[in-house]
Amino acid sequence: MTDRSEAAQAVHAARARRDVTWQELADAMGRPLVWATAALLGSHPLTPDEAEAAGALLDLEPSVVEALQLPPVRDTGRSGSSPVDPTVHRFREVIGLYGPALRELIHEQFGDGIMSAVDFRLDMRRVTDPAGDRVVIVLDGKFLAYRW
């Protein structure tokens, strides 16, 4: 049986082979772009209908379609390893630089609690700018107050 990692590799290969964009896959699955991309890379399980839609568009083997429906193993800590990919490194850098300030501001404005990464929305878009196009990322999580 194909595992989640192998399924992600199969998705990458099929996208290149069939010249399918992430947006086309998201549209076929009826899901937001960032969520669909993350799911196809192994971060979220797909429903049978979503997996079938992606599988049909990419002409994936049945074992890959099945693997896309498996619960993922979420390892956000990566055992302290540093990412090699420069884009992922920049995201860690942003959190390292601004995470403590964001924590303070959340506590000041909302109280003692956290931003949910479960009841959560994420959006990314390109904005044209004369000084160079901008990457706009919106993290939208429900505030969860600590309850003692």
Under 8 Å CB-to-CB from 137, ≥6 apart: which residues?
Answer: 122, 123, 124
Tallying the residues shown for the chain, one arrives at 148
> Is residue 134 annotated as a catalytic residue, yes or no?
no
> Is residue 93 annotated as a catalytic residue, yes or no?
yes
Enumerate the β-bridge partners of residue 136: 125
> Is residue 90 annotated as a catalytic residue, yes or no?
yes
Q: Among the options 5, 78, 93, 134, which is catalytic? A: 93
Q: Among the options 18, 78, 90, 103, which is catalytic? A: 90
Nearest to 3 by CA among 76, 68, 50: 68
Beta carbons of 139 and 123 less than 8 angstroms apart: no
The helix or strand, by DSSP H or E, that contains position 99, with its residue range, turns out to be helix 86-110
Nearest to 32 by CA among 50, 19, 16: 50
Determine the Cα–Cα distance for residues 71 and 54; give it in Å rounded to an integer.
17
Enumerate the β-bridge partners of residue 124: 137
* Active-site residue list: 90, 93, 116
